[in-house]
């Protein structure tokens, strides 16, 4: 694999990671801690939304993020692998 | 049959199972002993990671902490699960690609320095010992209540069992017992949760019952009536800044825990490392989204069955009497009005409940059958034992592989290396057992320290090792030392020497975040002021980043030839 393709692969990889981490930070540190008070005025079921995000929602998002990462990396790997 | 009889039966049956698996996967060579021949399928590794990492603290203490802390308990939920995202995206695939045996191995090779390796070894042992102490305490609590033996005897039984499969099977034995232990612990956790949700709300799915039933609104009302703040009220016990710092410290710490990282060395390739992180978090999420439901149901139930009752009424509750014997539940009619009153003030409150008993007592409080109660005991033991075994292996491989083989005797034969590994497991068990009998603090709090220390030492050096080619030996060593020293100093100072929480009132649990930031800054600055890493190290980092599955050539060849 030449160095241009390797750099392109690494760029694709790091921008995927960056985008997923932005979502990660937004749901956990953002919605569940920094914005919890305003969000608690909205309700999901019988629970205040900020509280629900902190104790349920963010965990669901975390699981989904890792599987998105694994599947997307498979795609990126296929694109760059064994085609020199 | 009584609870005690069922418990004994379940404990014996599950222990026979673990021992059998440990015997079946016994190993001879060091690759099997330290990294299970790198042949563990992604989904099995996910289950093993979940069991490895969900400790006695997750199983026994967490719901109790959430139950008392309400919203503020979310730090544990988000902190301990959010870290897996960091681990999966930033560390696991690359470390698997590196393909060696331990975390200090990576640190030592990437930073071409035995000093760095040694600092990493010290950090790994320090973290693992802090953490394993909590596990053994968990074993003690379960045994003392359910088998009615004293804590010391319980700890010794646990030590013998863990010792057997860890000494015999090393990582391979541990992996497959952890898969079995995950099954036991998740079944044990979910069955009473389903039952309680069903009884209290007519909806058997705890996550849905938690969100859509009116238990939490009712609990909010009761809490306010008794003078507590609302259950869902944020920042009732901790400031927003503290919650933020603790959550980050737990997240980053999870990603830096050596016994979790090492699990990703056991899968066949980096792709499997990515998927196994996903499976691990999915398996963990099953328990972690259930815990807040149990926490609120248990709190509602406990207040409902103890508050404003007469002593005679409480004494008729079988579970209350049994827990009173362990002194984890205390009640006393202080003002002599004939009724027990639960208040926020510790001085006047007539009921004190140790947070560690919430999960263990919930099935009894809800009057579930003795069989379910016994199952929970077996689950708690599975959680404690699986984590303890993972930690013991980190301690033993840090000494046997990194110190003995890599530093002291590189000519050591296969059998010598495995032998030293086995001796070190035995040694580590003895220390862990001592901590179990004379615990330095209560379970979850001790574990939180290990996370802070992992956050402040490992995470930055591994992350920069992969993502910043310019980071060099001098930077990594000074960063780890500064991060570790600062965090340990603050925790020990505040915890044991009454030092004020002078850093913006951040509690010891959250200070790892500051230690981590210090580590990043020091590593970054020192690296830029000193010469860049040698060319072959830069090539090694390039290899870590490339999509090919082949492990980097550097160092690997020498080791294989020595074998």
Q: Six-digit token pair at B522?
A: 């020091």
Q: What is the ipTM of this complex?
A: 0.94
Burial call A29-60: b when 16+ CB within 10 Å, e when fewer: bbbbbbebeebbeeebebbbbbbbbbbbbbbe
Can you give the pLDDT at residue B553?
Answer: 45
Q: d(Cα B303, Cα A38) in Å, to the nearest integer?
A: 29
SS3 B380: helix
Within 13 Å, how many C-alpha atoms sit on residue B259's CB side?
33
Q: What is the 3-state secondary structure (H, E, C) of B32-88?
A: HHHHHHHCCCHHHHHHHHHHHHCCHHHHHHHHHHHHHHHHHHHHHHHHHHHHHHHHH
Phi, psi (deg, nearest 5) at residue B187 = -65, -45
Question: Residue B8: pLDDT above 50?
Answer: yes
Supply the pLDDT for residue B562: 37
The predicted pLDDT at position B554 comes to: 43
What's residue B559's pLDDT? 42
β-bridge partners, B352 = B330
pLDDT value at B557 more than 50:
no
Does residue B538 belong to the interface with chain A, where contact is any CB pair within 8 Å? Answer: no
Looking at residue B462, its pLDDT comes to 92
pTM, rounded to two decimals: 0.89
φ, ψ at A48 (rounded to 5°): -65, 140
Name which of A13, A17, A56 is nearest B207 (Cβ-Cβ): A56
> CA separation (Å) from B254 to A39, B61, B78, B83, B84?
27, 17, 11, 5, 7
Enter the DSSP assignment of B401.
I
Element housing A44 (H / E): strand A43-44
pLDDT (tens digit per residue) in B394-428: 888 888 888 888 888 888 888 888 888 888 888 88
For the stretch B528-556, pLDDT in tens is 999 999 999 999 999 888 887 554 444 44
Give B81's contacts in chain A (Cβ within 8 Å).
Answer: 58-59, 62
**Superfamily of chain region B3-298+369-549:** Sodium/glucose cotransporter (1.20.1730.10)
Q: Which of B82, B243, B285 sits opposite A24 (nearest CB)?
A: B82
Closest CA to B111 of B558, B523, B525, B563: B523
Residue A60's closest chain B neighbor by CA?
Answer: B285
Interface contacts A/B by beta carbons within 8 Å: 131
Contact B358, B63 (CB under 8 A): yes
Report pLDDT digits (tens) over B217-249: 888 888 888 878 888 888 888 889 999 999 999
Instruction: Tell me: pLDDT of B146 over 70.
Output: no
What pLDDT does residue B348 have?
A: 75
| Confidence at A82, pLDDT banded by 50, 70, 90 | low
| Nearest-by-Cβ selection for A51 from B213, B232, B467 | B232
Residue B527, pLDDT > 60, answer yes
Chain A residues contacting B via beta carbons under 8 Å: 1, 6, 9-10, 13-14, 17, 20-21, 24, 28-29, 32-34, 36-37, 40, 44-48, 50-52, 54-56, 58-60, 62-63, 65-67, 69-70, 73-74, 76-77, 80-81
Q: Which residue in the set B78, B90, B277 is minimally distant from A28, CB to CB?
A: B78
Q: State the number of CA atoms in the 13 A half-sphere of B265 facing the CB.
A: 25
Locate tokens 């990582």: which residue? B171
pLDDT at B42 over 80: yes
For a pLDDT cut of 70, what percent of chain B falls above it? Answer: 95
In whole angstroms, give the CA distance from residue B90 to residue B289: 24
Q: Which of B471, B481, B486 is nearest to B531 (CA)?
A: B471
What is chain B's mean pLDDT, rounded? 84
How many H-runs (helices) and E-runs (strands) does chain A carry?
A: 4, 2
The reply to whether residue B89 touches residue A45, judged by beta carbons under 8 angstroms, is no
Of B348 and B261, the structure prediction assigns the larger pLDDT to B261
Other CB atoms within 10 A of residue B226 CB? 15
Q: Could you tell me if B535 lies within 8 Å of chain A, comparing CB atoms? A: no
Instruction: Spell out the domain ranges in chain B.
Output: 3-298+369-549, 299-359
- Which chain B residue shows the shortest CA-CA distance from A65? B85
B4 CA to chain A: closest CA distance, Å? 34
B contact test, residue of A70, A78, A84 with most B CBs within 10 A: A70
Q: Which of residues 21-50 of B touch A (CB under 8 A)?
A: none
pLDDT at B283 over 90: yes
Q: Which of B226, B327, B253 is nearest to B75 (CA)?
A: B253
Query: Which residues make Cβ contacts (< 8 Å) with residue B489, sequence separation at least 6?
Result: none
pLDDT for B516 equals 95
Q: Are B507 and B562 in contact (CB under 8 A)?
A: no
Per-residue model confidence (pLDDT) at position B445: 60
The verdict on B278 touching A (C-beta cutoff 8 Å) is yes
- How close are the terminal C-alpha atoms of chain B, in Å? 55
Q: b/e per residue, B80-95, with b = 16+ CB within 10 A?
A: bbbbbbbbbbbbbbbb
Distance CA B86, CA B173 (A): 28
Predicted pLDDT at B343: 78
Residue B285 in contact with partner chain A when CB distance is under 8 A? yes
Is residue B549 exposed (0-12), middle (13-18) or buried (19+ Cβ within 10 Å)? Answer: middle
More confident residue, B328 or B482: B482
What would the mean pLDDT of B367-380 be, rounded to a whole number? 82
Three-state secondary structure of B318-373 = HHHHHHHHCCCEEECCCCCCCECCCCCCCCCCCEEECHHHHHHHHHHHCCCCHHHH
Q: How far is B470 from chain A (nearest CA, A)?
A: 16
| Minimum Cα–Cα distance from B289: chain A residue | A56
- Which one of A1-5, A6-10, A54-58, B315-319 scores highest in mean pLDDT? A54-58
State both tokens at B317: 């509750």
């Amino acid at each position: 694999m030449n160095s241009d393709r390797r750099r392109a692969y690494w760029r694709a990889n790091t921008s995927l990671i960056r985008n997923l981490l932005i979502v990660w930070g937004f749901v956990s540190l953002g919605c569940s801690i920094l914005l919890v008070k305003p969000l608690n005025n909205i309700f999901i079921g019988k629970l205040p939304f900020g509280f629900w995000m902190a104790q349920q929602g963010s965990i669901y998002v975390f699981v989904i993020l890792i599987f998105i990462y694994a599947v997307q990396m498979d795609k990126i790997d296929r694109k760059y692998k064994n085609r020199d | 049959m009584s609870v005690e009889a069922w418990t004994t039966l379940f404990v014996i049956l599950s222990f026979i199972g673990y021992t059998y698996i440990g015997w079946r996967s016994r190993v001879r060579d060091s690759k099997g002993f330290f990294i299970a021949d790198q042949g563990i399928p992604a989904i099995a590794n996910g289950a093993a990671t979940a069991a490895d990492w969900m400790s006695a603290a997750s199983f026994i203490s967490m719901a109790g902490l959430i139950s008392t802390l309400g919203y503020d308990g979310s730090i544990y939920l988000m902190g301990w699960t959010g870290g897996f995202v960091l681990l999966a995206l930033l560390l696991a695939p690359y470390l698997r690609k590196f393909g060696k045996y331990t975390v200090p191995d990576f640190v030592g090779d990437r930073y071409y320095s035995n000093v760095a390796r040694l600092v990493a070894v010290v950090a790994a042992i320090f973290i693992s010992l802090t953490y394993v102490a909590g596990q053994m305490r968990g074993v003690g609590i379960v045994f003392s209540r359910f088998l009615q033996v004293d804590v010391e005897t319980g700890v010794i039984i646990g030590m013998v069992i863990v010792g057997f499969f860890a000494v015999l099977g090393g990582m391979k034995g541990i992996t497959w017992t952890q898969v079995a232990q995950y099954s036991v612990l998740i079944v044990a956790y979910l069955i009473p949760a389903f039952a309680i949700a069903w009884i209290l709300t007519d909806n058997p799915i705890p996550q849905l019952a938690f969100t859509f039933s009116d238990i939490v609104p009712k609990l909010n009302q009761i809490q306010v009536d008794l003078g507590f703040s609302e259950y869902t009220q944020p920042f009732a016990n901790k400031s927003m800044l503290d919650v933020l710092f603790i959550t980050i410290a737990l997240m980053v710490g999870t990603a830096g825990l050596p016994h979790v990282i090492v699990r990703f060395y056991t899968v066949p390739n980096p792709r499997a490392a990515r998927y196994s992180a996903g499976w691990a978090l999915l398996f963990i999420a099953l328990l972690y989204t259930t815990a807040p439901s149990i926490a609120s149901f248990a709190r509602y139930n406990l207040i409902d069955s103890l508050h404003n009752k007469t002593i005679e009424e409480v004494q008729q509750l079988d579970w209350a009497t049994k827990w009173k014997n362990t002194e984890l539940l205390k009640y006393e009619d202080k003002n002599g009005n004939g009724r027990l009153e639960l208040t926020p003030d510790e001085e006047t409150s007539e009921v004190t409940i140790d947070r560690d008993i919430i999960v263990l007592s919930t099935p009894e409080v809800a009057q579930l059958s003795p069989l379910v109660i016994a199952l929970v005991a077996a689950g708690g033991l599975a959680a404690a034992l699986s984590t303890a075994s993972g930690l013991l292996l980190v301690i033993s491989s840090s000494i046997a592989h990194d110190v003995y083989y890599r530093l002291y005797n590189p000519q050591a034969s296969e059998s010598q290396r495995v032998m030293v590994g086995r001796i070190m497991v035995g040694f580590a068990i003895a220390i862990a057992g001592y901590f179990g009998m004379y615990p330095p603090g209560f379970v979850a709090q001790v574990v939180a320290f290990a996370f802070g220390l992992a956050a402040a030492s490992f995470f930055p050096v591994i992350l920069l090792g992969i993502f910043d080619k310019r980071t060099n030996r001098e930077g990594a060593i000074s960063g780890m030392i500064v991060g570790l020293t600062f965090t340990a100093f603050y925790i020990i100072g505040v915890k044991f020497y009454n030092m004020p929480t002078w850093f913006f009132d951040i509690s010891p649990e959250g200070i790892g975040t500051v230690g981590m930031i210090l580590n990043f800054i020091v590593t970054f600055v020192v690296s830029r002021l000193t010469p860049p890493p040698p060319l072959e190290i830069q090539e090694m980092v390039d290899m870590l980043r490339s999509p090919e599955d082949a492990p980097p050539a550097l160092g690997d060849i020498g080791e294989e030839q020595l074998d």
